[in-house]
Chain A
């Protein structure tokens, strides 16, 4: 794998992070609930952080990606319906929407890894999938804590 190819991989990943950042920023400006607004702003900020990290990798091919791969995938995003965006959406729906987006990213990078023939390229995509899986899991943990209220 040459540096050009590596750059391409990171460019794709960076583009996805920018897209996610812009999405969360846009929805944070639209929603009514101040907590949902805060959640989306925080997510936008996090995506910016991911983008910066990936940019550093893109610019310095000598950097080695060392991502702690999550040991388990509880597949909560997979078991949850994608909530419709609504300006009056609740915090749990906002988190559900975000974890579904992370699920898509995991699927995307795993798909890229699966079709990559070069072992190093495959490995980079697997790392990226692992990174997104970590994000998905963190959001899933938050969702489990707020998504099933005992209200009666």
Chain B
């Protein structure tokens, strides 16, 4: 049984969606919970179309029904959780009738979903940015963790709480310490013993004792002089962050801005220095995927011109800034440093990665890697702890002036800000421009048909793009992606963030839609472009 929530898996994670579809073909029950009628719903046993930003009410309502019918895993709750009585009490505030009013899912549907989940031998929960890109993203994840612990679905094959990572190596980047508060494999910057360990390993002194800023804080601090220099590697910051107009002001306030990228972007246009970058086919290294599997990537062609691998560029900078030699001769040297300083990866060598990947923790050369965690029912803290979560309304909801809710995301044909994919002739031809998805009911009211040019306006900006009239979105909800800078959703999105993760609420803001001109192309062409 697979429970997908807040994930347009087919378009954002096509490989994972292939496995999900294969499981369905073999008889798995698939419940897709998404405010939009995404492609995966065609494969689903049930599509639950809850309202955007009501995940906590929906899931708490399901848990209420699960407890009410005695479908919880009593043994797991007793042996492996710390406060099972508390979660039972907390979700009493969400009887399905009340939860249904908040999330818009009919009571009978909620009862049916709870029954399927409660009676399933094991259920796997997959989620992604539809859960995290809210001001309550952290609480959304905690609520799903509560659900899986109530059902005893942690540490079991085909169970678990599975965040599908947004990019192919986001796991690897985090593992490598590309975060403001940890070194390799999540070793805390503010732990004196760890600081000492890294100073010894690297032969340096004076490593930071305090965590750095997360990205939104880093950007905000540019305006008050707290951030003076920004060194941006392979990130189209301006197009990616919410409220582009404000992001530009923040970037302009920097004293010095360096971009490292493979193609020009709106962000590189603001850079004082642009360093050429290598693409994935031009470097050796590793990618670590969403299941903690470290895999080798290999250089197949030489990079163009003066482009160099990141590790080389950073090493040269270190030499020129303060004469420090990192001592790397290859990407393998960087990985060896990881092995020395992060015991969870100590058993993973390039030689062992030659044929297949290895999943960390893999602490010794003898160890085969760890595909599943928490199989013994133990957690790092001891027993699992339930967290109290309550429904939190999005920061900006539609009103009379801005009557539509805009939600945003990704399309199958393009990757992130399309820095690479818009430079691919085939992909550009398949999906050459952004479309605003509008429900048939709303389109009728506004006199809009597919292909018409519309203007979408929020309190922060406006974009012009063609309309795609489709029942993928519910009435009152519009949707577009952030792939195309000239019609990027982030000209409209709101710069409000989850207080813990500082992830922006990309999934909800209020907009208005106006028709600008009649479409000139046949509607069939728009439909052909739009469908994944």
Contact = CB atoms under 8 A, between A and B. Distances in A.
Interface of A: 33-36, 38-39, 72-76, 78-80, 90-92, 141-142, 144-152
Given A74-B368, A78-B364, A142-B378, 8 more contacts: A36-B382, A74-B367, A75-B366, A90-B380, A92-B380, A141-B376, A146-B374, A148-B344
Contacts of B378: 91, 142, 145-146
> What interface size band does chain B fall in?
20 to 34
B260 to A, nearest CB: 23
Given A74-B366, A76-B363, A152-B179, A91 B382 contact: yes
A79 B343 contact: yes
B376 A148 contact: no
Interface string B364-380: 10111010011110111
Interface of B: 155, 174, 179, 181-182, 185-186, 343-344, 346, 360-361, 363-364, 366-368, 370, 373-376, 378-383
B436 to A, nearest CB: 36
Candidate in B174, B181, B186, B381 with the most chain A CB atoms within 10 angstroms: B381
A36 to B, nearest CB: 7
Contacts of A141: 376
A79 B346 CA distance: 9
A145 B366 contact: no
B339 to A, nearest CB: 11
Contacts of B382: 33-36, 38-39, 91
21 contacts: A35-B383, A39-B382, A74-B367, A74-B368, A75-B364, A76-B363, A76-B364, A79-B343, A79-B363, A90-B380, A91-B381, A91-B382, A92-B380, A144-B361, A146-B374, A146-B378, A147-B380, A148-B343, A148-B363, A151-B182, A152-B186
B363 A150 contact: no
A74 B362 CA distance: 10
Nearest to B379: A146
Given A35-B382, A76-B363, A79-B363, A145 B375 contact: yes
B370 to A, nearest CB: 6
B373 A145 contact: yes
A33 B375 CA distance: 22
B387 to A, nearest CB: 15
Report, nearest first, the 10 A-B pairs whose CB atoms are least far apart.
A35-B382, A148-B344, A149-B380, A148-B361, A74-B367, A146-B380, A91-B382, A74-B366, A144-B361, A75-B364
Contact of B380 (A34, A38, A73, A91): A91
Contacts of A145: 155, 361, 370, 373-376, 378
A151 B186 contact: yes
Contacts of B185: 148
Most B-side CB within 10 Å, residue of A33, A72, A79, A150: A150
A79 to B, nearest CB: 5
Contacts of A90: 380-381
Contacts of A75: 364, 366
Contacts of A36: 382
A80 B364 CA distance: 10
A74 to B, nearest CB: 5
A151 B187 CA distance: 8
A53 to B, nearest CB: 22
Nearest to B175: A150
A50 B182 CA distance: 41
A150 B187 CA distance: 9
Which of B370, B375, B380, B381: most chain A CB closer than 10 A? B380
Nearest to A75: B364
A28 B210 CA distance: 34
Contacts of B373: 145
A149 B186 contact: yes
B326 to A, nearest CB: 23
A142 B375 CA distance: 8
A35 B344 contact: no
B288 to A, nearest CB: 11
A100 to B, nearest CB: 14
Contacts of B374: 145-146
A144 B379 contact: no
Nearest to A73: B366
Contacts of A92: 380
A124 B186 CA distance: 44
A5 to B, nearest CB: 34
A39 B377 CA distance: 12
Nearest to A72: B366
B182 A142 contact: no
Contacts of B380: 90-92, 146-147, 149, 151
A73 B375 CA distance: 19
Contacts of B366: 72-75
A34 to B, nearest CB: 7
Given A34-B382, A79-B346, A91-B381, A147 B367 contact: no
A88 B381 CA distance: 12
A51 B261 CA distance: 64
Given A72-B366, A91-B382, A145-B378, A152 B361 contact: no
B2 to A, nearest CB: 23
Nearest to A150: B186
B136 to A, nearest CB: 19
A137 to B, nearest CB: 11
A147 B174 CA distance: 17
A34 B488 CA distance: 51
A34 B344 CA distance: 26
Contacts of A78: 364
B367 A142 contact: no
A76 B362 CA distance: 9
A39 B370 CA distance: 22
A106 to B, nearest CB: 14
A73 B382 CA distance: 25
A40 to B, nearest CB: 12
Task: Among A36, A80, A92, A144, find the residue whose CB has the most chain B CB atoms closer than 10 A.
Answer: A144
Contacts of A144: 361, 363, 367, 370
A94 to B, nearest CB: 9
